[in-house]
Structure 1
Amino acid sequence: MMSAPKITFIGAGSTIFVKNILGDVFHREALKTAHIALMDIDPTRLEESHIVVRKLMDSAGASGKITCHTQQKEALQDADFVVVAFQIGGYEPCTVTDFEVCKRHGLEQTIADTLGPGGIMRALRTIPHLWQICEDMTEVCPDATMLNYVNPMAMNTWAMYARYPHIKQVGLCHSVQGTAEELARDLNIDPATLRYRCAGINHMAFYLELERKTADGSYVNLYPELLAAYEAGQAPKPNIHGNTRCQNIVRYEMFKKLGYFVTESSEHFAEYTPWFIKPGREDLIERYKVPLDEYPKRCVEQLANWHKELEEYKNASRIDIKPSREYASTIMNAIWTGEPSVIYGNVRNDGLIDNLPQGCCVEVACLVDANGIQPTKVGTLPSHLAALMQTNINVQTLLTEAILTENRDRVYHAAMMDPHTAAVLGIDEIYALVDDLIAAHGDWLPGWLHR
Structure 2
Amino acid sequence: MSFKIAIIGAGSVGFTKKLFTDILCVPEFKDIEFALTDVSEHNLGMIKAILDRIVEANNLPTRVTATTDRRKALEGARYIISCVRVGGLEAYADDIRIPLKYGIDQCVGDTICAGGILYGQRNIPVILDFCRDIREVADAGAKFLNYANPMAMNTWAAIEYGKVDTVGLCHGVQHGAEQIAEVLGAKSAKELDYVCSGINHQTWFIDLRLNGRPIGKDELIAAFEAHPVFSKQEKLRIDVLKRFGVYSTESNGHLSEYLPWYRKRPDEIARWIDMSDWIHGETGGYLRYSTETRNWFETEYPQFLEAASKPIDPARRSNEHASHILEALETNRVYRGHFNVKNEGVITNLPQDAIIESPGFVDRFGINMAAGITLPEACAATCMSSINVQRMSVHAAIAGDIDLLKLAVLHDPLVGAVSTPEEVWQMVDEMVVAQAAWLPQYAQAVPAAKERLSKSKIKTRDWAGAARRSVRSIEELRAEKATLKQVG
- TM score, norm. by length of structure 2: 0.85
Deviation, structure 1 residue 336: 1.2
Contact preservation (8 Å) 2:224, 2:231: no
Q: What SS does the corresponding residue of 1:356 show, helix, strand or coil?
A: coil
Q: Which residue of 1 aligns with 2:38?
A: 40
Q: Does 1:71 align with 2:69?
A: yes
Tell me the residue number matched to 1:340: 334
Q: Please, which of 255, 270, 286 is the counterpart of residue 285 of structure 1?
A: 270
**Number of residues of Structure 1 aligned to a counterpart in Structure 2:** 434
Q: Note the alpha carbon deviations across 1:148-200, whole angstroms, 9 max, x for none.
A: 001000011111111133x1110000001111012212333122211111110
CA contact (8 A) 1:112 1:119 kept: yes
Identical counterparts, % of pairs:
32
Choose the corresponding residue for 1:450, options 435, 444, 455.
444
1:369-394 deviation per Cα after TM superposition (whole angstroms, max 9, x unaligned): 11222222143211111011111111
Deviation at 1:449, TM superposition (A): 4.8
Match of 1:116 among 106, 113, 118: 113
Which of the numbers 243, 255, 261 marks the counterpart of 1:257?
243
Q: For the residues of structure 2 that align with 1:408 and 1:373, how far apart are their CA atoms?
A: 36
2:81 alignment counterpart: 83
- Counting only pairs closer than 5 Å after superposition, residues 353-432 of structure 1 correspond to structure 2 as 353-432=347-426
SS of equivalent to 2:49: helix
Q: How does 1:62-211 map to 2 (within 5 A)?
A: 62-91=60-89, 93-141=90-138, 142-165=140-163, 167-190=164-187, 191-211=189-209
Contact preservation (8 Å) 2:432, 2:442: no
Measure the CA separation in 1 of the matches of 2:308 and 2:13.
Answer: 18
SS in 1 for 2:367: strand
Q: Distance in 2 between matches of 1:399 and 1:307?
A: 35
* Amino acid of the structure 2 residue aligned with 1:291: E
The AA in structure 2 aligned to 1:134 is: C
Structure 2 segments unaligned to the other structure (5+ residues): 275-280, 446-488
Distance in 2, Cα, partners of 1:436 & 1:22: 39
Distance in 1 (alpha carbons) for counterparts of 2:231 and 2:324: 29
**2:204 and 2:248 in contact (8 A); partners too:** yes
Query: Aligned to 1:198, what secondary structure does the other structure show?
Result: strand
C-alpha separation in 1, matches of 2:410 and 2:113: 9
Please name the residue that 1:273 is paired with. Answer: 259
Name the amino acid aligned to 2:201. Answer: H
Structure 1: stretches of 5+ with no match in the other structure? 239-246
The runs of at least 4 consecutive aligned structure 1 residues that moved more than 6 Å come to none
Aligned positions of 1:240-251 closer than 5 A: 247-251=233-237
**Distance in 1 between the 2:111 and 2:443 partners?**
20
Q: What RMSD in Å do the two structures reach over aligned CA positions? A: 1.7
Counterparts in 2 of 1:57 and 1:219: CA distance versus 1, 3 Å: farther
**Residue 278 of structure 1: how far off its partner (Å):** 2.0
State the 1:113 CA deviation.
0.2
Secondary structure, aligned partner of 2:7: strand
Among candidates 308, 314, 318, match of residue 305 of structure 2: 314
Amino acid at match of 1:252: I
Deviates more, 1:125-134 or 1:319-328: 319-328
Amino acid at match of 2:290: C
1:264 alignment partner, SS class: coil
Which deviations, in whole Å up to 9, do the C-alpha atoms of 1:84-116 show, x marking residues without a partner? 11101111x101111111112222111000001
For residues 49-68 of structure 1, what are the structure 2 equivalents within 5 Å? 49-68=47-66
2:310 is matched by which residue type in structure 1?
I
* Matching of residues 319-334 of structure 1 within 5 Å: 319-320=310-311, 322-334=316-328
| Distance change in 2, residues 1:314/1:189 (3 Å) | same
Give yes or no for the alignment of 1:21 onto 2:19: yes
Q: Deviations over 1:304-345 (max 9, x none)?
A: 332355221223471346322211100111111122211211
Between stretches 320-329 and 34-43, larger displacement belongs to 320-329
Q: Aligned match of 2:290 in 275, 283, 299?
A: 299
> Could you tell me whether the CA contact under 8 Å between 2:125 and 2:398 is conserved in 1?
no
Cα distance per residue 1:14-60 (max 9 Å; x no partner): 11011111111111111111111111121111111111111222344
SS of the residue corresponding to residue 94 of structure 2 reads helix
